Amino acid sequence: MANKDFPLIFERGQEGRTSYSFPDLDVPELDLDSEFDDAYIRTEAPDLPEVSELEIMRHYTALSKRNYGVDSGFYPLGSCTMKYNPKINEDVARFDGFSQLHPHQDPKSVQGAMEMMYDLQTSLAELTGMHEFSLQPAAGAQGEWTGLMMIRAFHEANGDYNRTKVVVPDSAHGTNPASVSVAGFDVVTVKTNDQGLVDLEDLKRVVNEETAALMLTNPNTLGLFETEILEMAEIVHHAGGRLYYDGANLNAIMGYARPGDMGFDVVHLNLHKTFTGPHGGGGPGSGPVGVSSEIAPYLPKPLLVKKDGQYMFDDDRPLSIGRVKPYYGNFGINLRAYTYIRTMGAEGLKKVSEYAVLNANYLMRRLEKEYVLPYSQHCKHEFVLSGKKQKKLGVRTLDIAKRLLDYDFHPPTIYFPLNVEEAMMAEPTETESKEMLDSFVDAMLAISEEAKDNPELVQEAPHHTPVKRMDETTAARKPVLRYSK
Ligand SMILES: *Cc1c(COP(=O)(O)O)cnc(C)c1O
């Protein structure tokens, strides 16, 4: 199973070797057999690694060096906002006053932590123009589902049981149609026009008395701001539907535009993206939901509120959709986001969006010389290129992505969005320097030359990584998730 040059920890060491030493036993030995039922006693020793402390250290240090993260290099993975996560966030998250709390403590004894969460809710409400926020949802996708369940509860409270359809543009993030289905609605797709924006005529055609909501990713996955968003809001509201704003990409618009001002009823944010929660590798996220005053009664309960100068969890919310997450969301990630917002300030967050958009446009304009740019207006935080010119030479977008690894770059998101052939979606974020952007462009242009002169070099990439090209289909269809000899 393992790579012979890099044995698993189970395959290292020698039988009987340990990395601990216990003091001599100075209490009476207990006979387990007489104390416990047979059913509770294992008859064979667990198959644990038998290695020394130094072997463990070297093994995991070597593994960590194979890792690639924002702290090691440029990571322009589109729609993921892989910006630098300031280390002051980590310092604050480790304060004893936060890290040593127990979630079952009496709220009266943790007023400081609750004040932090309450302030975060209020800051997010201000930043998005919404009435109220809940920090419960643990990820963007869960925020989406929570939002849709609230919209359903709202319609049902109005006796409106026939609103079973949610309109989703084909330029939406992939989680949007998935959340719609999981929440029990039918997906109705609305088309994108030749500008890469929602086609208003098509929207008018699909919106009717069965429409529960329009779910909009804005800026959309092409990195474009929906310029006719007010008209869209009007069309949907006029038909009695509600408006859901996928705000995972808030990085592009902070301090410039607010979903609440555009007429949106529900929004979710990804604190692990825009607000510097470390992410990637499936760690904890945070996808708070914000609502208008009309939707507020349906927010998950309990809701963190402030009454008579005290912070408390309000459970007396009869219209609430209920709890969506144990406790009150991922506290550590929310705390990092709070630290980020407080260190940046309102002006700082506005600058973040300016630089995020500037960096993306700079990269886009330099790369369009060699790569096809299907939608050529200015972009927001990200943009999408097409590898169709290179494909004619036999070099596919996947090959380009793999070749970038040889140049020590994390590749952009590939083959998404689906409406662009051989798509490459790049999001540089605001935290990269011009020199870094230029060296990425140099690598991309060099690869485009290689595609012309030596396509095999690109087709067979990567050449300089510990593991060469993977069989991704087998990895997805037959994953081996546990070790066996
Ligand atoms: C990342 C993202 C999501 C999903 O967020 P998760 O936290 O990964 O569930 C949803 N919408 C958009 C636009 C995103 O970029």
Q: What does the pLDDT average to over 381-406? A: 98
pTM score of the predicted model: 0.92
Decide if domain 87-343 falls under CATH 3.40.1190.10: no
CA gap 398, 461 in Å, rounded: 10
Q: C-alpha distances in angstroms, 481 versus 48, 60, 484? A: 17, 19, 10
Indicate if 351-477 has the same CATH topology as 87-343: no
Q: For the segment 409-420, what is each residue's pLDDT rounded down to a tens digit?
A: 999 999 998 889
Q: What confidence score (pLDDT) does residue 483 get?
A: 80
End-to-end CA distance of the chain: 8
CA gap 22, 26 in Å, rounded: 11
Confidence check: pLDDT of 198 > 60? yes
Confidence check: pLDDT of 309 > 70? yes
- Partnered with residue 133 across adjacent β-strands are 290
Average pLDDT, the chain: 95
Name every residue whose Cβ is closer than 8 Å to that of residue 97 and which is 6 or more positions away in sequence: 112, 113
Q: C-alpha distances in angstroms, 431 versus 74, 271, 380? A: 10, 16, 15
Q: Is the CB of 222 under 6 A from ligand 1?
A: no
Q: Is the CB of 175 under 6 A from ligand 1?
A: yes
Per-residue pLDDT band for 9 (boundaries 50, 70, 90) equals very high
Q: Where are the domains of the chain?
A: 9-65, 87-343, 351-477
Q: Is the CB of 173 under 6 A from ligand 1?
A: yes
Q: Which two tokens stand for residue 73?
A: 């290099």
Confidence check: pLDDT of 2 > 60? no
Per-residue pLDDT band for 306 (boundaries 50, 70, 90) equals very high
Q: Is the CB of 85 under 6 A from ligand 1?
A: no
Nearest ligand 1 atom to the CA of 79 is: 15
CA gap 181, 166 in Å, rounded: 9
Name every residue whose Cβ is closer than 8 Å to that of residue 8 and which is 6 or more positions away in sequence: 1, 2, 483
Length of the chain: 485
Percent of the chain with pLDDT strictly greater than 70: 99
CA gap 259, 244 in Å, rounded: 9
Best of 79, 222, 324, 384 for a ligand 1 pocket test (most atoms within 8 Å of beta carbon): 79
Half-sphere exposure in the Cβ direction for 316 (13 Å, CA): 2
- List b or e across 30-67, with b for residues whose CB sees 16 or more CB atoms inside 10 angstroms: eeeeeeeeeeeeeeeeeeebbbeeebeeebeeeeeeee
Decide if domain 351-477 falls under CATH 3.40.30.20: no
Which of 240, 209, 216, 251 lies closest to 230, judged by CA? 216
C-beta separation of 217 from 197 below 8 A = no
